[in-house]
């Protein structure tokens, strides 16, 4: 006997058990099967510092849906999981933790620090992996990777050396974004701009020959210490003649020149700009053009250097205050204005970024960007939805060289050694023992590490064993789908693209599926500071992982943000329960665990109808999934399961299952199990736990649903005519229910239902369930019936009479019929107008025209029947 199921689905009882079963069965493990096509996804590696949030939940749900779908379709599927070492984020956390112990990085030293970092990784790195498992993610855990593991390390060194040797990595003194809190350089992509209100200090710098002043405005007076020129526009009539003169820098009393540079906007402010090459990117460029000295006035934590004893040690804002006061004393301050401007901040810690000149490593981007642009233009990689290609192109087309060195310890140490004797650089995959130029042993490795994203950029191939020619790499690379949020296109997608093309000669994936952000119920970004984050684990605990996954997949169209609404998850939970109870119903009506084979000859009309609908569903859901229309697929499944299968087909089967005819009951059983099993398969990628649990309780063949075959459409199930016939019956049932509800007749009060129709065969076969569903005491089918004393409803296929004498109010009946007639005649007019439009008939596709003709025909039939009824009543009155 089949297993009995509880009255309500309890995810807690099921999920961990089923997940373990999958793991034990090694179903997630990719076996490099040469005879199968491959389908590969690499996970966007979550940070080891992170905890699962709704963004991960969405990202991983989408990936799991795709991978489970393809696995069932027979692909050799591989989903590579792993985590990211997240250099800045992790280092910041460890520094923070040490600070609580009263320790600094310097106290424990590089090795001591790294030891702590690895301990951290051991302790927390596994946390997020366990959380991903709770979601049901079918990753190949045997292939789990870490961006700082041995293999990734090897790949990183290989790429660094290759690019260096090609001249695509260089070291240079440039102005970069510096975070004074993290004490490291950061890339352009890591700077976030925010609007802040500040001030405009108008200053005047006197000419050294005593011939007056030049007035200018600045938002950062403290940088005045590092001014090495003042610039005006060469075409500015007001100042043209002053170019070449010198000024005395207030406070510092250094002599600086007036230079002419196109960069200065004549109509902004006074048209005069102070130039601080060490602390402003634009000024740096001006400095280069005019050969100006670069004077750094700030330390790495944004305090004034000891070169200015009066301000030394003050942080930039304190110094600003002090300097403004001194300027005022010196009479150099003209006025202060309110000013709103954009300030760059560190994307990790939010500290205002300090532009700073320093020696860093860079990747030359132009030569790498071009092939990456080409590849997407040639559709070698497609974005879904395609509009995100614009963002991708915009970034790559305007890209500047990528600053890859970080003044951090947690990360891939730069494989470059400096010779103390000859001063040359040795770059090597192996740890260098001596200078490659002069042979000196007196060499030191660069203390810096690489940007986290340098290793993430290699993720699609480093995880498959590259640079070794491994079996995995040969078999699974290039990968297929990359699933990620639009916010990291510039950080990650773009960098994987150019790295993949440069290093392997192939694009790393053929499709980039972009999703949006999960926002809170009010549409706000979920954030720690707002405290509005929703913890997926709590939701799983409350409603189950399947309900959460289903909610995230429903109504989520690619690239669009979505809101997290609790009620939606509740609705998904209810849906899971509906599915569960359908299984209970089927199970309690089966006689054995044997699968009853389908027998075409025994099918009743309703069987043909459901098989035909199911067959269409299989085709549509498959197509939707192949086109990444996951939301659409899930909506169709929902409608089919709840409305078509449960509310109609199951209800209809009840009369056969409870009837005397065992053969008919068996036919119903065979179709119920067949269609329901198909549903479980189609739904499995979305709701893996419950579908697996139910499948194993039902008659089945094979070990597990997750490794069973995806359903295929079958032309033998295309019962078009039967579908239409059955829908005539549905229309009658609905019309009867509707009329009874209008008259407030409770279901317990049964009435005779007489159906006058041209389709006697179809209706005749359905009397048993029409009786049930239309709350009838008995059902009669015929050409016509005595209408006296009957309530009547008319569909386009039948006139239905319900003799309920005591309830019948003839004038009310007449009124209703006239209302129906009016509606039907409006419809008739609508269709006729369309069909009389020559343009429509000539140009619209034949199928569309035919549809309209069909509709018109039905309306005409209906009108005839209504008129007849009206006449009958009038005759009897």
Partner RNA sequence: GAAGGCAUAGCUCAGUUGGUUAGAGUACCUGCUUGACAUGCAGGGGGUCGGUGGUUCAAGUCCACUUGUCUUCACCA
Residue with tokens 């020129």: 229
Residues 106, 430, 567, 660: which binds RNA (CB under 7 A)? 567
In the complex, least distance from residue 263 CB atom to RNA, rounded to whole angstroms: 6
Alpha helices in 743-845 (DSSP H): 760-765, 767-773, 810-836, 838-843
Residues 422, 440 contacting (CB under 8 angstroms): yes
- Point out which span in 158-166, 375-383, 579-587, 695-703 binds RNA (CB under 7 A): 579-587
3-state helix, strand, coil in the chain (%, to 5): 50, 20, 35
Residues 21, 440, 470, 560: which binds RNA (CB under 7 A)? 560
Of the pair 371, 516, the CB lying nearest RNA is at 516
By CB under 7 A, residue 563 contacts RNA: yes
Residues 227, 249 contacting (CB under 8 angstroms): yes
By CB under 7 A, residue 844 contacts RNA: yes
Helix (H, G, I), strand (E, B) or coil at 84: strand
CA pseudo-torsion sign 312, 314, 315, 316: negative
In the complex, least distance from residue 532 CB atom to RNA, rounded to whole angstroms: 14
Residues 349, 530, 588, 812: which binds RNA (CB under 7 A)? 588
Instruction: Compute the distance between CA of residue 454 and CA of residue 722 in angstroms, rounded to an integer.
Output: 61
Instruction: Compute the distance between CA of residue 350 and CA of residue 194 in angstroms, rounded to an integer.
Output: 10
What DSSP designation does 410 have?
S
By CB under 7 A, residue 697 contacts RNA: no
What DSSP designation does 607 have?
H
By CB under 7 A, residue 364 contacts RNA: no
Residues 218, 463, 479, 481: which binds RNA (CB under 7 A)? 218
Residues 456, 85 contacting (CB under 8 angstroms): no
Give the CA dihedral 233, 234, 240, 244, nearest 10 degrees.
Answer: 100
With b meaning 16 or more CB within 10 Å and e meaning fewer, what string describes 617-633?
Answer: bbebbbebbeebbbbbb
Residues 67, 89, 582, 791: which binds RNA (CB under 7 A)? 582
Residues 769, 655 contacting (CB under 8 angstroms): yes
Strand partners, 416: 427
By CB under 7 A, residue 237 contacts RNA: no
By CB under 7 A, residue 355 contacts RNA: no
Of the pair 197, 715, the CB lying nearest RNA is at 197
By CB under 7 A, residue 585 contacts RNA: yes
Tell me phi and psi for residue 802, to 5 degrees.
Answer: -125, 100
What DSSP designation does 628 have?
T
By CB under 7 A, residue 263 contacts RNA: yes
Q: Work out the number of other CB atoms within 10 angstroms of the CB of residue 217.
A: 22
By CB under 7 A, residue 193 contacts RNA: yes
By CB under 7 A, residue 638 contacts RNA: yes
Residues 487, 662, 703, 809: which binds RNA (CB under 7 A)? 487
Interface positions, 675-694, toward RNA (CB under 7 A): none
In the complex, least distance from residue 855 CB atom to RNA, rounded to whole angstroms: 4
Helix (H, G, I), strand (E, B) or coil at 529: coil
Of the pair 506, 734, the CB lying nearest RNA is at 734
Residues 20, 390, 853, 871: which binds RNA (CB under 7 A)? 390
By CB under 7 A, residue 197 contacts RNA: no
In the complex, least distance from residue 297 CB atom to RNA, rounded to whole angstroms: 15
By CB under 7 A, residue 21 contacts RNA: no
Residues 183, 578, 616, 700: which binds RNA (CB under 7 A)? 578
Of the pair 503, 556, the CB lying nearest RNA is at 556
Residues 351, 445, 696, 855: which binds RNA (CB under 7 A)? 855
Interface positions, 598-627, toward RNA (CB under 7 A): 624, 627
Nearest to 546 by CA among 612, 459, 634: 634
In the complex, least distance from residue 522 CB atom to RNA, rounded to whole angstroms: 8
How is residue 451 written in tokens? Answer: 């940007």
By CB under 7 A, residue 387 contacts RNA: yes
- Point out which span in 288-296, 464-472, 564-572, 715-723 binds RNA (CB under 7 A): 564-572
How is residue 314 written in tokens? Answer: 């003050």
Residues 81, 490, 536, 678: which binds RNA (CB under 7 A)? 490
In the complex, least distance from residue 170 CB atom to RNA, rounded to whole angstroms: 21
Of the pair 138, 218, the CB lying nearest RNA is at 218
Helix axes 545-553, 536-543, angle to 10 degrees: 110
Residues 341, 444, 474, 822: which binds RNA (CB under 7 A)? 341
Of the pair 103, 821, the CB lying nearest RNA is at 821
Tell how strand 518-519 and strand 562-563 pair up. Answer: parallel
In the complex, least distance from residue 660 CB atom to RNA, rounded to whole angstroms: 17
Site string for RNA, 492-521 (x = CB under 7 A): ---------------------------x-x
Residue with tokens 């239409």: 724
Site string for RNA, 643-662 (x = CB under 7 A): ---xx--xx--x--------
Instruction: Kindly list the distances between the CA atom of residue 759 and the CA atoms of 151, 727, 796, 862, in Å, as whole numbers in the listed order.
Output: 72, 12, 11, 14
Residues 442, 738, 777, 784: which binds RNA (CB under 7 A)? 738
Interface positions, 525-554, toward RNA (CB under 7 A): 525
Of the pair 439, 658, the CB lying nearest RNA is at 658
By CB under 7 A, residue 642 contacts RNA: yes
How is residue 523 written in tokens? Answer: 């549409």
Interface positions, 115-174, toward RNA (CB under 7 A): none
Instruction: Compute the distance between CA of residue 585 and CA of residue 5 in angstroms, rounded to an integer.
Output: 10
- Point out which span in 1-9, 122-130, 471-479, 752-760 binds RNA (CB under 7 A): 1-9
Strand partners, 338: 199
In the complex, least distance from residue 312 CB atom to RNA, rounded to whole angstroms: 23
By CB under 7 A, residue 853 contacts RNA: no
CA pseudo-torsion sign 250, 253, 257, 263: negative
Residues 797, 861 contacting (CB under 8 angstroms): yes
Nearest to 511 by CA among 371, 384, 378, 369: 384
By CB under 7 A, residue 284 contacts RNA: no
By CB under 7 A, residue 568 contacts RNA: yes
CA-atom Rg of the chain in angstroms: 37
In the complex, least distance from residue 195 CB atom to RNA, rounded to whole angstroms: 7
How is residue 871 written in tokens? Answer: 């006449």
What DSSP designation does 110 have?
H
Tell me phi and psi for residue 196, to 5 degrees.
Answer: -135, 150
Of the pair 557, 876, the CB lying nearest RNA is at 557
By CB under 7 A, residue 217 contacts RNA: yes
By CB under 7 A, residue 394 contacts RNA: yes
DSSP 713-756: --GGG--HHHHHHHHHHHHHHHHHHHHHHHTT--TTS-EEEEEE
Helix (H, G, I), strand (E, B) or coil at 213: strand
By CB under 7 A, residue 764 contacts RNA: no
By CB under 7 A, residue 282 contacts RNA: yes
Nearest to 802 by CA among 739, 757, 734: 739
In the complex, least distance from residue 778 CB atom to RNA, rounded to whole angstroms: 18
Residues 108, 391, 707, 724: which binds RNA (CB under 7 A)? 391
Q: Work out the number of other CB atoms within 10 angstroms of the CB of residue 96.
A: 9
Instruction: Compute the distance between CA of residue 655 and CA of residue 638 in angstroms, rounded to an integer.
Output: 25
By CB under 7 A, residue 557 contacts RNA: yes
Residues 301, 594, 742, 850: which binds RNA (CB under 7 A)? 742
Of the pair 299, 574, the CB lying nearest RNA is at 574
By CB under 7 A, residue 573 contacts RNA: yes
């Amino acid at each position: 006997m089949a297993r009995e199921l509880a009255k309500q689905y309890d995810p807690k009882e099921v999920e961990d058990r089923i997940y373990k079963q999958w793991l034990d069965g090694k179903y997630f493990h990719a076996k490099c099967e040469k005879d199968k096509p491959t389908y590969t996804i690499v996970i966007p590696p979550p940070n080891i510092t992170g905890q699962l949030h709704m963004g991960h939940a969405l990202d991983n749900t989408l990936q799991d849906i795709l991978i489970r779908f393809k696995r069932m379709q027979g692909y050799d599927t591989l989903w590579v999981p792993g985590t990211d070492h997240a250099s800045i984020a992790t280092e910041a956390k460890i520094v923070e933790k040490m600070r609580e112990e009263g320790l600094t990085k310097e106290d424990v030293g590089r090795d001591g620090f790294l030891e702590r970092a690895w301990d951290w990784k051991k302790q927390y790195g596994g946390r997020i992996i366990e959380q991903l498992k709770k979601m049901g993610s079918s990753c190949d855990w045997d292939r789990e990777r870490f961006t700082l593991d041995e293999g990734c390390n090897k790949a990183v060194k290989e790429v660094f050396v290759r690019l260096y040797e090609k001249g695509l990595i260089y070291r240079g003194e440039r102005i970069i974004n510096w975070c004074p809190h993290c004490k490291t350089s950061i890339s352009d992509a890591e700077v976030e701009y925010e609007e802040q209100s500040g001030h405009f200090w108008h200053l005047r710098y006197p000419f050294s020959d005593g011939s007056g002043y030049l007035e200018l405005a600045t938002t950062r007076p403290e940088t005045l210490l590092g001014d090495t020129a003042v610039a005006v526009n060469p075409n500015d009539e007001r100042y043209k003649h002053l170019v070449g003169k010198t000024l005395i820098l207030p406070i510092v009393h250094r002599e600086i020149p007036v230079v002419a540079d196109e960069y200065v906007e004549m109509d902004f402010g006074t048209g005069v700009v102070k130039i601080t090459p060490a602390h402003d990117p634009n000024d740096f460029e001006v400095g280069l053009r005019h050969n100006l000295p670069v004077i750094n006035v700030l330390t790495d934590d944004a305090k004034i250097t000891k070169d200015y004893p009066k301000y030394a040690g003050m942080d930039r804002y304190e110094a600003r205050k002090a300097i403004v006061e001194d300027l005022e004393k010196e009479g150099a301050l003209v006025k202060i204005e309110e000013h709103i401007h954009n300030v760059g901040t560190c994307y990790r810690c939010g500290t205002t970024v300090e532009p700073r000149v320093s020696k860093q490593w860079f990747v030359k981007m132009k030569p790498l960007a071009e092939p990456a642009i080409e590849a997407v233009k040639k559709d070698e990689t497609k974005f879904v939805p395609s509009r995100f290609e614009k963002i991708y192109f915009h970034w790559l087309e305007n890209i500047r060289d990528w600053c890859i060195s970080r003044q951090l310890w947690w990360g891939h140490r730069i494989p470059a050694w400096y010779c103390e004797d000859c001063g040359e650089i040795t770059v090597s995959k192996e740890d260098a023992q001596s200078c490659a130029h002069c042979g000196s042993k007196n060499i030191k490795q660069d203390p810096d590490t690489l940007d986290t994203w340098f290793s993430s950029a290699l993720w699609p191939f480093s995880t498959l064993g590259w640079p070794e020619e491994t079996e995995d790499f040969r078999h699974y690379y290039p990968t297929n789908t990359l699933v990620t949020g639009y916010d990291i296109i510039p950080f990650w997608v773009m960098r994987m693209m150019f790295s993949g093309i440069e290093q392997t000669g192939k694009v790393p994936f053929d499709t980039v599926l972009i999703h949006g952000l999960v926002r809170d119920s009010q549409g706000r970004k979920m954030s720690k500071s707002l405290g509005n984050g929703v913890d997926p684990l709590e939701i799983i605990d409350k409603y189950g992982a399947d309900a959460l996954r289903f909610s995230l997949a429903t109504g989520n169209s690619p690239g669009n943000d979505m809101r997290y609404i609790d009620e939606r998850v509740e609705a998904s939970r209810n849906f899971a329960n509906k599915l569960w109870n359908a299984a209970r119903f089927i199970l309690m009506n089966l006689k054995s665990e044997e699968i009853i084979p389908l027998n075409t000859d025994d099918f009743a009309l309703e069987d043909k109808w459901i098989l035909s609908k199911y067959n269409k569903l299989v085709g549509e859901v498959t197509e939707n999934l192949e086109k990444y229309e996951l939301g659409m697929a899930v909506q169709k499944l929902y409608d089919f399961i709840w409305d078509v299968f449960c509310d109609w087909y199951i209800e209809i089967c009840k009369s056969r299952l409870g009837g005397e005819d065992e053969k008919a009951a068996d036919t119903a059983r065979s179709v119920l199990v067949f269609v329901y099993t198909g549903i479980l398969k189609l739904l499995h990628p979305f709701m893996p736990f419950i579908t697996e649990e139910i499948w194993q309780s039902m008659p089945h063949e094979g070990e597990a649903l997750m490794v069973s075959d995806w359903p295929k459409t079958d032309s033998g199930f295309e019962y078009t005519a039967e579908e239409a016939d059955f829908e005539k019956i549905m229309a009658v049932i609905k019309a009867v229910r509707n009329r009874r509800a209008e008259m407030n007749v409770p279901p317990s009060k049964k009435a005779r239902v007489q159906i006058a129709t041209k389709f006697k065969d179809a209706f005749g076969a359905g009397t048993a369930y029409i009786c049930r569903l239309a709350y009838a005491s008995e059902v009669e089918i015929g050409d016509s019936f005595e209408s006296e004393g009957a309530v009547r409803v008319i569909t386009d296929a039948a006139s239905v009479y319900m003799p309920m004498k005591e309830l019948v109010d003839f004038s009310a009946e007449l009124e209703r019929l006239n209302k129906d007639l009016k509606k039907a005649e409006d419809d008739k007019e609508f269709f006729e107008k369309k069909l009389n439009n020559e343009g429509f008939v000539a140009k619209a596709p034949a199928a569309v025209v035919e549809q309209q003709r069909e509709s018109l025909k039905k309306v005409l039939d209906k009108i005839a029947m209504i008129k007849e009824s009206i006449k009958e009543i009038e005759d009897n009155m």
